[in-house]
Structure 1
């Protein structure tokens, strides 16, 4: 069973997916003007660089998007208006990557302006189904239609209804492109919530949200997709992620070492260009045969590696250093194990065979930012050798606690213990810290403690507590005129 938890907090949406009680996926999306994958824009070509076969396109965001050009570069001209879809979000100094092949996905079909044919998912092998579809599916003349795997076995009438619905969206987008004078966003493809809910393939799910607008949005999508809607709204004072223990599970992802059931482990490191995963046998000594120990450790690691890449939303190039194996048959089994556990990944994944150095390369398409990018950063206190939770993320968690305590006890004085690695950052702008934790209407006491795991917070109820802790008061004492 899948449980999907959707927590909206101001401009940030966090989604956690549990599969059979285990955290399996985690996504964070910040509402800003940055282009997101699957969004469709009207843009204007700013520059064409033949040496790298790329065009740079103004789509109304801070950074120009870029598009690789195929074939004759003269088909695109500077100043030309173009309809583009984002296929890779901007990262670092690079703008978003876009394409003129615009797609409109549904449950059963994808409409695409990249061709004008009726095509089928490679996973649909049934020739009789294909023959019937060629006769009964009503494809618009000016756009291509691809039948997705989910269309197999579905009645033609239902598929045709979806085609008409999506084609209406396509026509609206093209009209906006033609008649709008301004560049910018033409179509928001439902964001991260829509993408995840549309990917559900069965009714064995439960969705819990903490926001009424998101509840109604989810209801609309799920009612279209399923006969039964298993949807709840969460309204308690304690935050959704805290109540279900998800916050603690997310914070544990800052550990780069993940233990294997046998006693071995994997270590995940991020470099400037890629992620590197090292597999170690460590305490795995249950087999007398070293050859068998190595193979079983690598086999376990293959499953855990796939799980961790999906859970942490790691994308780009991942290089895995498995423990050395000599047998080609064993290597083949490891590759098949990796492919099996990436089978249902919503992001496109390519897995390459072992190199001569026993390395395996995994390429995973980028979709949103990784958990690391949103929550963690390098720790300067340990010379960049470790990571710490970003102060902005801690502020959000403290704010959740303050809001809960306000509902439950309505106390005026809040005492916060926080790791001393944040001391300089907080003290340099204490007013912003208090504002970010929604503490402007309270008395805030902060104690910087060495070695504490992120933070602790408690209300000060008795005068004796307030008197004993007065030296830690940071607000509003310093800001009284």
Structure 2
């Protein structure tokens, strides 16, 4: 049974935050900062700066700090005036389709993440409330979430009839294809026709500007987060959308009246004295979503580690001893963990390869039930997810499509002390590094004195536990060694000054 949802929108001039609440708990978080808006959906005039035949890709300058990446699979067959042909995997090689200095109209399909530039496609799509317009194609697609074959056939027939009427009125042959989004399931013909007209008009403006604009020009910008809430996140389960800014409420209402009339009826201005996110302790949930450890209600816990290559989730029983025997304890903990993991993936917006290390289960039926529960919980995810079964090592491997930065990458940065490793060298290790460095310097230089400048913890250890070794080194090199504590230095930092 699917529960009703509430959407909370916290708006400030510098940042928009959206929380989706279900059964009193935060299920999804979306954050967009004015100075760091995502690029997915934006359309640019790009310039090819380098073609890499070995990788079947090209680097495209679209006016960002880093060149963007275009793979041959994301080149539309008509984008470069080449007909499709066979080459290895069925693609015309990229070096025969694009060349350095060439201008291309491209769309961002994946934001820059870490050190990687944005990923591009020349297969342009423009999203509306009910439809996605594909100006370079001519087929009619239906959202996979509309499952009934009869309904899918009926929607396709209605769309073909509406497109035929529109083309006849405008005196042209069929141009462009469409994908019907999930919320088009109950749309009227007038609503579909309105979306068709809006999307074709939008595309006409993009194409006209693209013909006369230099490379690096932004031709079309995706809607902001508050607008995307009305367009993308509202479904039959959403009972209210509350926003805490009167200015943005009016702006959003005007947008909704034009493009999402069914969604705008649920829009309300929050006037409470408490901050809107305090209603469901959303800020506390954000802090928890940035932590490694996730406590389960039973007493078990998860450890979530995110790296550039993949994300690992380790399940532990912790203090849970509630079941009748050890096998049942493990089984119950893993079932609860499956539910928590699916929620954490949404909250943290984790993508890419994800490895889950459930506690080892001896009974095959337990493993099947846990895997089934995980898949069931992941069905609620708006992002495409693929789950494999248990591997020979007892691990569950899965992937979750990554299009934007994770919550941690958006809100945090690597620790300047440990440089993102999550640990620092001990004071004793740093002391021995210092002693070796002094010996190395003494073989090359002959100063009057060596002065060690380091953190207070390291200096204290050199004066106490390592004092004998320090004195022995001073005698060996025949030079005095003085110590100076520097409060601003991290535990791993030190300087050796030659006096």
1:61 corresponds, among 59, 64, 68, to 64
1:34 and 1:121, CA in 2 relative to 1: closer, same or farther beyond 3 A? closer
Distance 1:312 1:253 in 2: 6
1:176 corresponds, among 209, 214, 219, to 209
The Cα of 1:160 is off from its aligned counterpart by: 2.4
Q: CA RMSD in A?
A: 2.8
Larger mean CA deviation between 31-40 and 112-121 belongs to 31-40
TM-score w.r.t. the length of structure 2 is 0.71
TM-score w.r.t. the length of structure 1 is 0.73
- Given that 1:33 and 1:61 are in contact with CA atoms closer than 8 Å, whether structure 2 keeps it comes out as no
Q: Which residue of 1 is the match for residue 20 of structure 2?
A: 17
- Given that 1:61 and 1:184 are in contact with CA atoms closer than 8 Å, whether structure 2 keeps it comes out as no
The Cα of 1:186 is off from its aligned counterpart by: 1.4
1:96 corresponds, among 118, 127, 144, to 118
Q: Which residue of 1 is the match for residue 481 of structure 2?
A: none
The Cα of 1:358 is off from its aligned counterpart by: 1.3
2:251 corresponds, among 190, 202, 217, to 217
Kindly report which structure 2 residues correspond to 1:228-247, keeping only aligned pairs within 5 A, or say none: 229-234=265-270, 239-241=275-277, 245-247=281-283
1:261 corresponds, among 270, 282, 297, to 297
Distance 1:262 1:54 in 2: 50
Q: Does 1:8 align with 2:11?
A: yes
The Cα of 1:349 is off from its aligned counterpart by: 1.7
Q: Which residue of 2 is the match for residue 43 of structure 1?
A: 46
Larger mean CA deviation between 373-382 and 184-193 belongs to 373-382
Please list the CA deviations of residues 268-327 of structure 1 after superposition, one character each: whole Å capped at 9, or x if unmatched. 112232211101122222223322222221111111001011111222222111112344
Q: Which residue of 2 is the match for residue 148 of structure 1?
A: 181
1:317 and 1:134, CA in 2 relative to 1: closer, same or farther beyond 3 A? closer
1:230 and 1:136, CA in 2 relative to 1: closer, same or farther beyond 3 A? closer
Q: Does 1:201 align with 2:204?
A: no
Kindly report which structure 2 residues correspond to 1:370-449, keeping only aligned pairs within 5 A, or say none: 370-379=406-415
- Given that 2:327 and 2:362 are in contact with CA atoms closer than 8 Å, whether structure 1 keeps it comes out as no
- For structure 2, which runs of at least 5 residues remain unmatched after alignment? 74-90, 168-173, 424-499
- Given that 1:35 and 1:86 are in contact with CA atoms closer than 8 Å, whether structure 2 keeps it comes out as no
1:268 and 1:165, CA in 2 relative to 1: closer, same or farther beyond 3 A? same
Of the two, which has the highest radius of gyration? 2
- Given that 1:316 and 1:364 are in contact with CA atoms closer than 8 Å, whether structure 2 keeps it comes out as yes
Q: Which residue of 2 is the match for residue 121 of structure 1?
A: 143
Q: Which residue of 1 is the match for residue 77 of structure 2?
A: none
Larger mean CA deviation between 204-213 and 53-62 belongs to 204-213
- Given that 1:40 and 1:186 are in contact with CA atoms closer than 8 Å, whether structure 2 keeps it comes out as yes
Distance 2:256 2:53 in 1: 46
Distance 1:270 1:341 in 2: 21
Kindly report which structure 2 residues correspond to 1:339-358, keeping only aligned pairs within 5 A, or say none: 339-358=375-394
2:223 corresponds, among 176, 190, 213, to 190
Structure 1 counterpart SS, 2:112:
coil
The Cα of 1:375 is off from its aligned counterpart by: 2.8
Distance 1:98 1:252 in 2: 34
Structure 2 counterpart SS, 1:369:
coil
- Given that 2:108 and 2:120 are in contact with CA atoms closer than 8 Å, whether structure 1 keeps it comes out as yes
Larger mean CA deviation between 198-207 and 259-268 belongs to 198-207
Q: Does 1:304 align with 2:304?
A: no
Q: Which residue of 1 is the match for residue 319 of structure 2?
A: 283
- Given that 2:133 and 2:179 are in contact with CA atoms closer than 8 Å, whether structure 1 keeps it comes out as yes
1:273 and 1:235, CA in 2 relative to 1: closer, same or farther beyond 3 A? same
Larger mean CA deviation between 281-290 and 57-66 belongs to 281-290
Report how many aligned residue pairs link the two structures. 388
